[in-house]
Every structure is written in structure tokens, then in C-alpha cells.
Amino acid sequence: MSKYYHITTYGCQMNVHESEKIAGILSGLGYESCENAEDADIVVFNTCCIRENAENHAFGNIGMLKKLKARKKDMIIAVGGCLTQQIGKADVLHSKFPYVDIIFGTHNLGKLKDYILKKQTRKKAVIEIEEDCGAVCEGIEPLRTSYPNAWLNITYGCNNFCTYCIVPYVRGRERSRRSEDIIKEAKYLVSLGYKEITLLGQNVNSYANGTDDISFPELLKKIAAIDGKFRIRFMTSHPKDFSEELAKVIGEERKICNLVHLPVQSGSDKILKAMNRKYTVSEYMDKIGTLRKYIPDCAVTTDIIVGFPGETEEDFLQTCELVKTAEYSSAFTFVYSRRDGTVASKMEGQIPEEVSKDRIMRLIEIVNAQTRGQSSEYVGKIVEILCEGYDEKRKLYFGRDESGKMAYFSGTADMFGEFVNVKIGLANGVSLFGEVING
Ligand code: SAH
Ligand code: SF4
Ligand code: F3S
């Protein structure tokens, strides 16, 4: 009889890829994927704790499984990911949800198979949260779910300790995979027909820092030298480590998408300092200038936090100003969320929620107006789109251009996973609509 698994993922692309590794482990144990948790023999929650609402989300969904578990006693529920790795959180999870069978941290994903086998022979929950031992996770074959894109880890962890951020505490110190392992995996992915490879790390620019391995721009060049037509993306770039050499390489190598995600976080030098971001607004703008010197049409996207402790109306207006001058093609905006254990959580001047909410609404309006303006410039142009799928509601195929713009078009099933040229006829908000012109 078939056995089924169901995975719920929260958080960033790194977690999405880690869920693919979890799926790989489960499929190795003979489980198949299923749509609904009700049909599953094992349910996994791969959690995030970057902001309070990410945590609440996971808590809510784990809580909802109580009744199902009471009906299906043999079903295994496992909770992993960043939330479990916070100090004391595994105990909170265990006492709040005693029916959860396995709780594992971010540093022991590789042992999930053992935990499942262990749980099958005993009643007591298996709870293991290991400390960061600097290990690089190798050898788990992921079951990829994002064709034609493939996620590829290059670094794990983070050393930057931005004062608001929980990631260094739950993901440990930065460590890089060996370039030969990365290149081997990239070659394999291209040979399997993947058309886009997205390199993942909290700060890809500091790849291999302090080791004798090659630098990030050199790594990019080696991946770009792999035969075949495919795109290379990467995230995230910390502005403090973004070099002129990197801008040059992006400009020179056709396979590397003309898009850089360069989170600024704030447009106020005072707030950037308090955030421990290690750059000023003018240094940041210089980096964008360098990037556009080598790649005039390079798209830049960003992350912004509003309501960081001590942020005044004046600081916020500086952020709005920066957004206007940087000409982002899109921006992810967040209300600051106080995270236990971080330096900022103890800072004076925490901003009331209604003030932050008002600021984020005003900021979103500026960002949206900018994005709409940029979308309308696409009308009449021909863009190369990598077809990612079919939208059932719109009854149209969709995909992105190299700068990440989403376009919809009528097409045929054989276009899935292929590059097609689309002539844009209409821009509606962030989305573009057009016709395929190369059949
Ligand atoms: N390593 C990446 C991003 C990691 S988290 C980087 O350095 O940019 C993704 C985004 O979440 C961050 O860029 C930041 O904008 C946001 N974020 C992180 N911690 C947050 C917090 N406590 N409250 C609100 N947003 C936060
Ligand atoms: Fe968090 Fe800063 Fe590291 Fe990004 S660079 S993960 S924001 S500490
Ligand atoms: Fe990612 Fe959330 Fe962890 S953003 S690294 S899953 S805290």
C-alpha cells in the first residue's frame, strides 16, 4: 500500500529548497507526495521565524492538525526549520502540541530519516535540536518541485548580525559549499534540462570568504561556462560586499540575469547604523551606480523595513526618497517585527504598530506607482520569457523575463520549460500580457 507525505513550507527560498530535500528524504523512505494533509501518513511543517506573523502562521496550522491526529493516530507529524531552532521554542512546541511526533532543528535535517525510523518504534516524541557545528549539508538528493528553475545552495548561515534579524541565531555561522560541488551540481541540473539555476545564500557576495576557494564572481563565471542555454540568478546580495568585479561579470556573461536583489532596509544613515548594515545611503547608491555603469538596463529589487526602533518621520521620508532615486523594479516591504534575542529587541524607541502601518501603506503606494510605470514601458517590446506554467484562472501560460517581470500569453503545452519571445501588448499593474511571436 502506498504511503503519502505532505509538506507545508514557510519563509524564504532557502526553506523552499530545504523542503525539496525533505521530500527527497521521504521519497527515499517510500513515501509519495499528496495534496492534502488529511491523506498523508507523514506531515512536515518546515517553519520560519523571520517575523512574528510567520511564527503565528505555523503555530496556527500545527494547531489545526490536532483533530486529524486524534482520528489518524499512526500519522506522523514533524516540525522542523528556523522556528524550532530558537532557544526554548522546541519545548514550547512540545508542550503546546504534545501530539507532534518529531521536532528537529535546522542543523539536523540530515538525520530526519533516522528520526522517522526511531519514531516508528516508540511512543515518545523525538526532539532533537543540534547546535551549529559548522557543517555543510551535502549528499541529500532533493526532489525538485520548481522546474524549470532549480535552487542551488552555495552558502549556509550568516555572520552579519543585522540587529533586527534572527537568521544568524537560527541558521548559524556562514559556511560555503566547495565550488567543485556547486559546479558539479549545476552541470547535473543543466544536463537534466533545468533552464534556470538560482544560487542561494543569505549573503552570496561573501561566498568562500576566508577560505582558499574561488570568489563569488569567479564561481559565477565557471557556472556560466557550462554548455547549454540556461539562466543564472542569485540571492541575496549584501550591499556591503557587492563589488565592481561582480557588476562586471554580470554585465559580461549573457547567462547571468540582469537583475540584482540588493536589500537596502532603510534610507536613513542613522537607522542603517542602528541596524548594523555597515553602509551609508551614499555608499549604497554608489553600488547601484557601478552596477548600472556596466549594465545600464539592470533591474534592481530590494527589501525595506519600516518602523525600526527610533525611526522618525524624517528617517522614513528619507527611505521614500531613496526608493524614488534608486528606481527599483520591485521592493519587498516589511513592518519591523521584534525578535527575541536580537540586539534591536532591547532598543528604546520601539514604534507603535499604527505608526508603522501608516508608513508601510505610504511606502507601498510609492513602490507600486514606480512598478506600474516601469511595466508600461514594456508595451510594444519583445521580451524573452522562460515559460514556467499555465494559469488555470486566466487560461494563459506565464513566465518571467530575465529581470523577473511576469508575463502572460496564450501558448501550447510544449512551451512549458522553454524560452519564448513574447511581444507585450498590455501592462496591468505588475503583470504583462502579450503574444508569442516565435511559435
Ligand atoms: N539575507 C538577506 C535577507 C534575509 S531575510 C539579506 O541580508 O538581505 C529577508 C528580509 O526580511 C530582510 O531583507 C529584511 O528586510 C526582512 N527582515 C528580517 N528580519 C526582520 C524583522 N525582524 N522584521 C521585519 N523584517 C525583517
Ligand atoms: Fe539577516 Fe542581515 Fe544576515 Fe540578511 S545579512 S540574514 S538580514 S543578519
Ligand atoms: Fe528563511 Fe525564515 Fe529561516 S526567512 S532563513 S526560513 S527564518
Beta bridge partners of 5: 33, 42
Amino acid at 359: R
Last residue of some domain: 330, 348, 376?
376
Which residue of 301, 334, 342 sits with most ligand 1 atoms within 8 Å of its CB, as the best mutation to test the pocket? 334
**Contact indicator for 183, 223 with CB cutoff of 8 Å:** yes
Instruction: Give nearest CA residue, ligand 2 atom 5.
Output: 160
Helix-then-strand count for the chain, H and E? 14, 19
Strand boundaries in 123-251, DSSP class E: 126-128, 149-153, 155-156, 175-176, 196-200, 231-235
Same domain for 357 and 395?
Answer: no
Q: What is the mean pLDDT of residues 346-359?
A: 97
- The reported pLDDT for the residue numbered 134 is 84
Q: Specify whether 398 is located in the same domain as 354.
A: no
Q: How confident is the model at residue 419 (pLDDT cuts 50, 70, 90)?
A: very high
How far, in Å, from the CA of 271 to the mean position of ligand 3?
A: 23
Residues 389 and 365 in one domain: no
Q: How far is CA 161 from the centre of its chain?
A: 18
Same domain, 156 and 114: no
Which residue type is seen at 165? C
Largest Cα separation within the chain, whole Å, is: 64
Question: Looking at the domain assignment, is residue 11 inside a domain?
Answer: yes
Amino acid type, 184: K
Residue 326: give its domain's CATH number.
Answer: 3.30.750.200
State the amino acid at position 272 in one-letter form.
L
For residue 146, the model assigns a pLDDT of: 96
SS3 159: coil
Looking at 231-309, which runs of residues are DSSP E strands?
231-235, 259-261, 299-306
Quick check: is 134 in a domain?
A: no
Q: Domain span at residue 45?
A: 3-128
Ligand 2 centroid distance, CA of 203 (Å) = 8
Q: Whose CA is nearest to atom 18 of ligand 1?
A: 165
What CA–CA distance (Å, rounded) separates 336 from 275? Answer: 11
End of a domain among 128, 159, 184?
A: 128
What residue type is assigned to position 318 of the chain? Q
Instruction: Looking at the structure, tell me whether residues 314 and 233 fall in a common domain.
Output: no
Determine the Cα–Cα distance for residues 244 and 217; give it in Å rounded to an integer: 10
Domain match, 196 and 223 both: yes
Q: Does 22 fall in a domain?
A: yes
Atom number in ligand 1 closest to CA 339: 22
Q: Is the pLDDT confidence value at 433 over 60? A: yes
Considering the domain architecture, whether residues 124 and 43 belong to the same structural domain is answered as yes
pLDDT tens-place string over residues 110-119 = 999 999 999 9
Give the model's pLDDT for residue 133.
85
The domain tally of the chain equals 4
Q: Is any atom of ligand 3 closer than 6 Å to the C-beta of 48?
A: yes
Residue 100, in any domain of the structure? yes
Alpha helices (H) along 146-209:
167-171, 179-192
CATH number of the domain encompassing residue 100: 3.40.50.12160
Same-domain check for residues 15 and 110: yes
Residue nearest to atom 15 of ligand 1 (CA): 303
Q: Residue 137's pLDDT is what?
A: 82
CATH of the domain at 417: 2.40.50.140
The stretch 223-252 carries a mean pLDDT of 97
pLDDT digits over 85-108, tens only?
999 999 999 999 999 999 999 999
Inter-residue contact 10 to 48 (CB < 8 Å): yes
Instruction: Please give the helix or strand (H or E) that residue 45 lies within, else none.
Output: strand 42-47
> What's the whole-number mean pLDDT along residues 316-328?
97
Q: What angle do CA 416, 422, 428 make, to 5 degrees?
A: 100
Average pLDDT over residues 284-302: 97
Residue 294 covered by a domain: yes
Q: Calculate the average pLDDT of the chain.
A: 96
30 and 108 part of one domain: yes
**Is residue 140 one of the residues assigned to a domain?**
no
Same structural domain, 14 and 30? yes
Q: What is the mean pLDDT of residues 163-184?
A: 97
pLDDT band at 257 (very low <50, low <70, confident <90, very high): very high
Ligand 3 atom closest to Cα of residue 82 = 3
Q: pTM surpassing 0.85?
A: yes
Confidence of residue 420 (pLDDT cuts 50, 70, 90): very high
Evaluate: CB of 83 within 6 angstroms of ligand 3: no
Task: Supply the residue whose CA is at minimum distance from atom 10 of ligand 1.
Answer: 303
Does 301 share its domain with 359? yes
The whole-number average pLDDT for the span 384-400 is: 97
- Beta bridge partners, 33, equal 5
Task: Specify the pLDDT at position 279.
Answer: 98
* Whether residues 311 and 368 fall in one domain: yes
